[in-house]
Chain A
């Protein structure tokens, strides 16, 4: 079946250092888009960035991701982590034909001073 894999349950990084959250997928859908949602403590998940174009970098709030269909990946990166980036991050695949989402299990990012 279709799936999204986020390999790390917890990523801990020191403030000011780069961070990368991994996301890979398997799908048989023909029309797809990818999202990163972020959930801060005691808040609702909210969209961070999205992409449906192969090999095009998407950026928002200092984070960036590039959809690579050749490697089935949509990793999230930031060059300099901030304490305020500490949150739960979900990678998600959307079938744009039937609006069906598949979410990864989530990666908790902890930024320490």
Chain B
């Protein structure tokens, strides 16, 4: 069974603080993604990675950094958290392969509140 695990499940941070959201996948997928989910906006792509050592900017990267130290792990870093970053964050891995339309497998999400 494919598995994407996120930690923590819930996080409360203070404005200006540093926040790290972690994601681990056991699918052996090359592609990994970070999305945020907000009512009325759906899922918006923050950063993504094609493999260990690579990170790419998504559609809304400002205020976020990403790190992919290994095939399994992909972190999202908020160096200076702001209240506008209060949201639910989803990590996903994708089963991209030759001739196959990639399906995303999501983690259970992290609910982040920045006070």
Q: Chain A: how many interface residues by the 8 Å CB criterion?
A: 22
Q: Which residue of B has the minimal Cβ distance to A107?
A: B42
Q: How many angstroms from the CA of A95 to the CA of B33 in the assembled complex? A: 15
Q: Is B102 a contact of A106 with CB atoms below 8 Å?
A: no
Q: Which residue of B has the minimal Cβ distance to A9?
A: B40
C-beta contact mask, A13-33 vs B, less than 8 Å → 1, else 0? Answer: 000000000000000000001
Residues of chain A with a CB closer than 8 A to B43's CB: 45, 90, 92, 103, 106
Q: In this assembly, does B45 line the interface, its C-beta being within 8 Å of a C-beta of chain A?
A: yes
Mark B residues whose CB is within 8 Å of A: 4, 31, 33, 40-45, 90, 94, 96, 101-109
A-B contact pairs, 20 of them (CB 8 A): A9-B40, A44-B107, A44-B108, A45-B90, A45-B106, A46-B106, A47-B103, A47-B104, A50-B103, A90-B43, A92-B43, A94-B101, A94-B102, A96-B102, A99-B102, A103-B43, A104-B42, A105-B40, A105-B41, A106-B42
